[in-house]
Amino acid sequence: MSEILNDRYQLDKKLGEGGMAIVFQATDLMLERTIAVKILRKAFSASGAFQQRFKEEARAAANLTHPNIVTVHDFGFDHDRLFIVMEYVPGTDLKEIIKNHAPLPIPQASRLFVQACAGIGYAHRAGLVHCDIKPHNILVTPDSRVKVTDFGIARALASVKPDERTRAIWGSPAYFSPEQAAGRAPSPASDVYSLGVVLFEMLTGELPFMDSTPQDLALKHRYEEPPSPRHINPEISPALEEIILKVLSKEASARYRTADQLGRIVISFTELEGNGYLTEAESPSPPPDPSLEAILALEQRHPPHQWLTVLLGLLALISVGGLIPFWLWVYFQIN
C-alpha cells in the first residue's frame, strides 16, 4: 500500500533521488491532483535549525509565481522527515538532455537557456538567490517549457552545523561560483556564473572545470581560466564565446549583474546572429519571459538619452509657461 504523508499526500512512485532527498510522483487526496513530493533525508530533517530555515525558505519559494519556476504548494514534517509539495512537471531534467544530445544546437540551447534566465531573473527581482543552479534543477517538459526548481534548499543547508555541512555543501561543486567555492555568501551574480557553466555544458557537452576531488575543483573555479568553448564546438561564434567567458569571470562585478540581463543579451545575440530564436520551428516552444522582451524592445526603441531630452524639454516648457502670468502682471502694472 502506498505511503500517505500528513493524511493527504499519497506517494505513488519514485521519480529520482540524490544525496539530499528523494522525489516522488504523488496524489493530493484532498484536491485530487497529481503533484511531486520531495522528501529530505533524515540526516537533514533531524536538525532543528535546518527545519526552521527550511520552513522560511519554503515560504519564500511559495511566493514565486512564474511560468518558468516550479510552483511550491505546501511543506510539512511527517515520520521524522521534512517534505515539500510542488507542482508535477512531466518530462525530464536538462542534465539528461545534455547527456543524450549535447552539444545542443544553438537555437535549441538558446530557447531553453533564456527561459531558465527568465525564471531565475524573476526570483532575483523578488530578492531571492537560488544558490544551486545546475542542469539537474532545470526541468524541461515535452513541449520544451523550462521550469526551475529547488529554490531555497541550498540556503537552508547553511544553517546545519559545520561538521554536518561537508556532504551538502559539495553537492554540486561543478557549478559553484568562485565566491561560493571560497565560502562567501552568494549573490545574483553567483547564479549568473552557474548559468554560464550550464550554457557552456549545453553547447559543448563538457564542463569547463573537472577534477577528482571537490576541493581541487573549487580551486579551479577560483583561479583557473575556463577553456575556449569554440575549440570544443566550432559552431560557437566569437560573439557567443565572448558572452560565455564574460559570464564565467572570476570577479562577480565583471559578469552580467542578474539573470534578466543575461537573458536579454542571449535574446539579442540569437536575433542578430540569425539563429532563429523567434522563427525556428523544430518544436513548439513558449516565448521567453515577456518582461525580458519588453525591456529589450524598450531599450531598442527608446534609448535612455532620448528620454532625458524629452524630460528636459518638458521642464523648460513648464518653466516658461510659469513665467507668462508674471510678465502679464508686470505689463498691466506699468500701463
Q: Determine the pLDDT at residue 154.
A: 61
- 12 neighbors 59 (Cβ within 8 angstroms): no
Give the residue-averaged pLDDT of 223-236: 96
Helices 106-125, 259-272: axis angle to 10 degrees equals: 150
Q: Which CATH superfamily is domain 92-300 in?
A: Transferase(Phosphotransferase) domain 1 (1.10.510.10)
Q: Determine the pLDDT at residue 273.
A: 74
- Catalytic residue check, 74: no
Q: Mind listing the pLDDT tens digit for each residue in 179-202?
A: 989 988 889 999 999 999 999 999
pLDDT(314) > 50: yes
Question: Band of the pLDDT at 256, cuts 50, 70, 90?
Answer: very high
pTM of the model: 0.79
pLDDT(301) > 60: no
What strands lie across the sheet with 9-17, from one edge to the other? 4-5, 9-17, 21-28, 33-40, 81-87, 72-78
Question: Band of the pLDDT at 280, cuts 50, 70, 90?
Answer: very low
Give the residue-averaged pLDDT of 54-69: 89
Q: Determine the pLDDT at residue 7.
A: 94
pLDDT(283) > 70: no
Closest CA to 142 of 286, 303, 334: 286
Domain coordinates in residue numbering, the chain: 4-87, 92-300, 304-335
Domains 4-87 and 92-300 share a fold: no
Give the residue-averaged pLDDT of 42-46: 79
Which of 132, 150, 191, 260 is the catalytic position? 132
According to CATH, the topology of domain 4-87 is Phosphorylase Kinase; domain 1 (3.30.200)
